[in-house]
Copies of this chain bind each other. A is one copy, B any other.
Amino acid sequence: MLVERFAENPIIRPQDVTPSRDDNEVVGAFNAGATVFRGQILLLLRVAERPKDKAADEQVAPILNPHTGEIEHFRAKNDDPAVEIPDSRSFFYNGKINLTSISHLRIARSDDGVHFEIDDRPAVYPQTYYETYGLEDPRITQIGEKWYITYKVVSDHGICTGLLSTEDFEYFERHGIIFCPENLDVVLFPEMIRGEYWALTRPVPMYIGPKAIWGARSDDLIHWGGHCPVITPRPGEFDGGKVGGSCVPIKTDEGWLEIYHGSDIEDRYCLAAALHDLEDPSKVIARSKEPLMQPETDYEIKGFYGNVVFACGHVEKDGEIIIYYGASDEHTAGARTTLDKIMNTLQ
């Protein structure tokens, strides 16, 4: 078996999370970044909320007003001719997209990696003009004594990648937008490579080009250049629709091992692995022929947005790799594997 799912899955469900406001309900606790902090496993959950009083016959979009700091609710009736509903995650009003939930980041801690204590309050909450639709899908990379968190920010201006840093997981410094629209699924390598920081990014081209993983380089983690395509979708295969970085690359003797996600043309999300050259991560040495994980269990197939396994983080523990992944854009689940098992999927 390539991966062993936790018997306790899903380990964090929306109902396990205290809403940030009394009048909200949590609809998703998923796509968590992961790291080890002060001897504990720390997850930074994406917590998606919506107003509790949402009626069945309406759509509600919670949107930050960056001037007041308040989250306001834009409501529209399902039968309003201006409303179009592509799926559970969003609706259009007169052609303008609205998200049905707004996400913030929340800390959960664990000693055994399975049972988590979840903070009552958000760690990072929508605050800036570029976060008005929320903060999503954090990846945590420890570099020296600091933790850097890339996260997807969503607003009227677009979907971009922001950068946070923290030394204590109490105070988080915002470093602004490091990749302009449309770019998401950004993962930072944990050390400099030949004198430069590296990132995997996922530009979203409008007219030309696949939804592929690109590489970028930086001297300071804030300014990025040297963009180049690295991993492209493989038409007809499980990752033929789009690919994106998932976990922080793991340094091995053979190369940087990246657990990435790929979806097919039906938007079914799997996890797979790629091995990047140690000295030049833009070179891919090998790649999984078959998925490392694919939606199989009930909680992976059904949910807020079904048929999704989507990881934003892993930790190494007792010689194993624990992958924390979002299941169906709703729950957080875990699975154990080993470096050797992942390496064996590569070709």
A residues within 8 Å of B by Cβ? 97, 130, 133, 154-160, 176-183, 201, 203-210, 212, 214, 216-220, 222-229
Contacts and interface: CB of A to CB of B under 8 A. Distances in A.
A227 B97 contact: no
A158 B203 contact: yes
Contacts of A216: 180
Contacts of A218: 223
17 contacts: A155-B208, A158-B203, A159-B205, A159-B209, A176-B225, A178-B225, A178-B227, A179-B227, A180-B203, A180-B214, A181-B209, A217-B223, A219-B219, A219-B223, A223-B224, A223-B225, A223-B226
A58 to B, nearest CB: 21
Given A177-B228, A182-B203, A156 B208 contact: yes
A83 B186 CA distance: 36
Contact residues of A: prevailing secondary structure: strand
A163 to B, nearest CB: 9
A181 B156 contact: no
B156 A227 contact: no
Given A180-B203, A182-B203, A216-B180, A156 B223 contact: no
A212 B223 CA distance: 21
Contacts of A224: 223-225
A130 B227 CA distance: 11
A207 B182 contact: yes
* A157, A214, A219 interface centre (most CB from chain B within 10 Å): A157
Contacts of A205: 158-159, 181-182, 204, 206
B222 A154 contact: no
